[in-house]
Amino acid sequence: MLGYLLRPLSELGEYLLMMRAALVASLKTIKRKYEILKQMKKIGYDSLLLIFVTSGFTGLVTAVQATYQTSNYIPKSLIGVLVGKSTMIELAPVLTALVLSGKVGASIAAEIGTMKVSEQIDALETLAVDPVEYLYYPRILAGILMFPALTIFSNVIAILSAFFLSTFRYKLSFYSFFSNMKNYFQPYDLWGGLVKAFFFGFVVTSIACFIGSKTKGGAEGVGKSATQSVVYSSISILVMDFAVAYFLFGNR
């Protein structure tokens, strides 16, 4: 019973040690620049279509719900304000991270898990190649850089899709939609969402790398690791969302 209770603490300690090793590996960024760029392409560019579709429908739903929930309370000309703030602060960073936890996190966990069960990681260590420096750090850094970039892309697509719906459905002009958004815009809204995305990128990729490195049991174990990565990353995103939001906006 005691061992069962101590196991999560043991795994947390191993995770922190891996993060410490990744931090040390950051001093050798230039050495692994090709691998970092490769991972940035896989996480960022290869996810553009997925984020485009997700953000587009997020903007459409946000415009519809904002109009419905505020009808008879505020004028429709303020839909842009509601869409802009809710998208930049919450919807874009959180939904982007949750979607990427399924695409990127599961992919990383499965890839590293396959290397673990097929003893490729052991072979790297035999060749005096540090797996943290060669495998984990490039993926974590790429996630930290690409999640905010994809969040900016998500903001643009969501706001534009909300604008087009507001124009054709609610007959709002370009000026009414964007001028009010500009008047109520605060840079802190955008930066707050990007700070969230920064932490989400770290959480998703680091958890995926750690779970992948602990994989055992062949093909079944790889599938289990991919599933665990998505579940743990999703929960961590929601917890981190509250923590960062409370720190950034709780006293404003």
| Dist. CA 91–CA 89, nearest whole Å | 7
Q: In the chain, where does DSSP find H-type helix?
A: 2-25, 33-43, 48-70, 79-86, 92-100, 106-117, 120-126, 131, 137-170, 174-184, 187-213, 218-249
SS3 74: coil
**Segment 19-56, tens digit of pLDDT:** 777 777 777 666 778 888 999 999 999 999 999 999 99
What pLDDT, on the 0 to 100 scale, is given for residue 28? 65
What pLDDT, on the 0 to 100 scale, is given for residue 79? 80
What pLDDT, on the 0 to 100 scale, is given for residue 227? 93
Give 222 or 178, the one with higher predicted confidence. 222
Name the average pLDDT for the chain.
86
Question: Which amino acid, residue 98?
Answer: L
Q: State both tokens at 92.
A: 């874009």
What pLDDT, on the 0 to 100 scale, is given for residue 235? 94
Q: Which of 131, 105, 133, 127 is nearest to 27 (CA)?
A: 133
Judge whether residue 219 has pLDDT over 90: no
The band of 106, judged by pLDDT with boundaries at 50, 70 and 90, is very high
**Segment 151-201, tens digit of pLDDT:** 999 999 999 999 898 888 878 777 777 887 878 788 888 888 999 999 999
Q: State both tokens at 191.
A: 């930066």
Mean pLDDT for the stretch of residues 94-107: 94
Mean pLDDT for the stretch of residues 231-248: 91
**Segment 128-141, tens digit of pLDDT:** 888 888 888 899 99
Cα→Cα distances 134→16, 140, 245, Å: 18, 11, 33
The band of 1, judged by pLDDT with boundaries at 50, 70 and 90, is low
| Dist. CA 138–CA 136, nearest whole Å | 6
